[in-house]
Amino acid sequence: MPETTPGLSAFFEAWDLFREPALAGAVAGALLGMLGIYVVLRRMVFLSAALSQSASLGVSLAWFAQVRWSVPAWIASPTTGGTAASLLAAGAMLAGRSSLSTRRDGVLGWVYLLGAAGTLAVGTRIVQEVQDIETLLFGSGVAVRPEDFTLLVQVSVVIGLLHLWLHRGFIQVATDQDGARVRGLPTRLVDALLIVSLAVAVSVGTRILGALPVFAFTVLPAMAALGLAVNVPQALPIAALVGGACGFGGYLVAYRYRLPVGASQTLVAALAVAAVHLLQRALAAIVALRNRQRHDHNHEHGPDCGHPAVPHGDHVDYLVGGHLHHPDAEECHDHGPLAGP
C-alpha cells in the first residue's frame, strides 16, 4: 500500500506541537535574511558559513564536556559554547581584516574547515548525542524547546532594534566604505558591530535550526530581495519577509513530504531565488518588447534608418525583428514575417 502524505489540515490541528519549531524557522529566517543583505553586499557569504560551522563545533564541545568530563550543563551549555566559538571566529576575522585579501580568505577557510571537521570528530566521541550532531549540521530536527524559542526571539529583538537604530551607518558602510570613511563614520566600529551581531545570530540559529539552514538564510533571502528591491533600504524588510516565509514554509514542506527540515528550508529558499530570477527575466522581456513596439511606432523608415530594405511587390518594406514593416503617410504596417527562400 503506497505511503500517504499528511495534509496541512492535520498540521494546524496539531499546532500546539509544531508551534515552536515552525515559528523558530520564521523568526530565524527573518533575522538572518535581514543580516544577509549586508553579507551579500559586502561579499562575506562564506563568513556566515564559517561562523555556523564554528558554532557547531562550540555546541559539540559543550556536549563533550558534559558527557566526558561531567561539567555541569549550566557551565557548558550548548548555547554558551556555540556563541563563544562563533565570537572567537568573528574575532579572528576582525583581526585579519587589515591583512591582504588572500590572507583573509585563508583565515576564513581555516575557520570553516576546523569547525566542520572538529564537529564531526567530536561527534564520534559522544555517541549519546550523535542525533543532535546530525541536527546541528543539517537541521534535521523537528522539535524546538520553548526556552530555545524564547531565546531566539529575544536575540532577534535586540539585534533587530540595533540594526534599526544604526541602519543608515550599516547601509553606507556596506555600499560605499571609502565614502563612509571620508564622511567620518567609524567604519571599523560598524564592521565590528555587524560581524558580532551576525556571529550571535548565527550561533543561536545554528544551535536551534542547524548549520545548513542558517547558512542558507544568510544568503538566499538576501539574493531574492536584492533582485526585487530598487534600493538597499527597501531590500532589508523584503529579505526579512522572504526569510521568514522560507523558514515557515520550509517547515510546512518538510511536514507535508516527510523531508529533513533543514534541507527543506534550504530548498524553499533556493526556489525563491530561482523564482525571482525568472520574474526578472520575464519583466526584462516585457520591457524589451514594449521598447521595440514604441520604436516601431515612432521610428521613421528610410534609406538611412538602419533597417534592411526588402522589395515587396510594388513597394519597399523594412526588416525589423524578422517582420516586414511598410510605412505609409499615416502609420507603419506589419506585413508579417519575412518568408524563407
Q: What is the DSSP letter of 126?
A: -
**Res. 261: pLDDT tops 90:** yes
Does residue 267 sit within a domain?
yes
**312 and 180 in one domain?**
no
Is there a single domain that holds both residue 229 and residue 328? no
Please check whether residues 41 and 136 belong to one and the same domain.
yes
Residue 29: its pLDDT value, please? 97
Residue 108 CB coordination number (10 Å):
20
> Terminal CA-to-CA distance of the chain, rounded, Å?
60
231-258 pLDDT per residue, tens: 899 999 999 999 999 999 999 999 999 9
Mean pLDDT of 37-53: 89
Same domain membership, residue 90 and residue 13:
yes
My answer on whether 103 and 195 are in the same domain is yes
pLDDT per residue over 188-237, tens digit each?
Answer: 899 899 999 999 999 999 989 998 999 999 999 999 999 999 889 999 99
Q: What is the DSSP letter of 103?
A: H
- Is 292 inside any structural domain? no
Residues 273 and 310 occupy one common structural domain: no
Better-predicted residue by pLDDT, 301 or 72? 72
| Position 295 pLDDT exceeds 60 | no
Check residue 1 and give its pLDDT. 44
- In this prediction, residue 341 carries a pLDDT of 44
The better pLDDT of the pair 66, 161 is held by 161
- Domain assignment present for residue 2? The answer is no
Question: Which CATH number do you get for residue 214?
Answer: 1.10.3470.10
Q: Quick check: is 293 in a domain?
A: no
Task: Tell me, yes or no, whether 254 and 321 share the same domain.
Answer: no
What is the spatial order of strands in the sheet that 332-337 belongs to? 309-312, 315-320, 323-327, 332-337
Helix runs in the chain, H state only: 8-13, 15-41, 45-69, 78-95, 101-123, 130-138, 146-165, 167-175, 177-182, 187-208, 211-217, 220-228, 232-257, 261-298
pLDDT at 286: 84
Same structural domain for residues 59 and 198? yes
Instruction: Give a yes or no: residue 288 inside a domain.
Output: no
pLDDT at 75 > cutoff 90: no
Lowest mean pLDDT among 48-62, 79-93, 297-311: 297-311
Mean pLDDT value across residues 280-304: 69
- Assess whether 207 and 150 both reside in one domain: yes
Distance of CA 278 to the CA centre of its chain: 17
Whether 319 and 180 share a structural domain: no
Question: Does pLDDT of 304 surpass 80?
Answer: no
Average pLDDT for residues 19-33, to the nearest whole number? 96
Residues 134 and 234 in one domain: yes
275 plus 323 within the same structural domain: no
Span of 38-42, 75-79, 271-275, 293-297 with lowest mean pLDDT: 293-297
- 295 is a domain residue: no
Which of 85-94, 119-128, 272-281, 282-291 holds the top average pLDDT? 272-281
User: Is the predicted pLDDT of residue 32 greater than 70, yes or no?
Assistant: yes
Domain annotation covers residue 184: yes
Number of domains in the chain: 2
**DSSP-derived secondary structure letter, 193:** H
Strand partners, 324: 319
pLDDT at residue 201 in the model = 96
The predicted structure's pLDDT at residue 332: 67
Q: Coil, helix or strand for 105?
A: helix
Task: Confirm whether 294 is domain-assigned.
Answer: no
Model confidence band, residue 163 (pLDDT cutoffs 50, 70, 90): very high
**Boundaries of domain holding 262:** 8-283
Averaged pLDDT, 304-321:
69
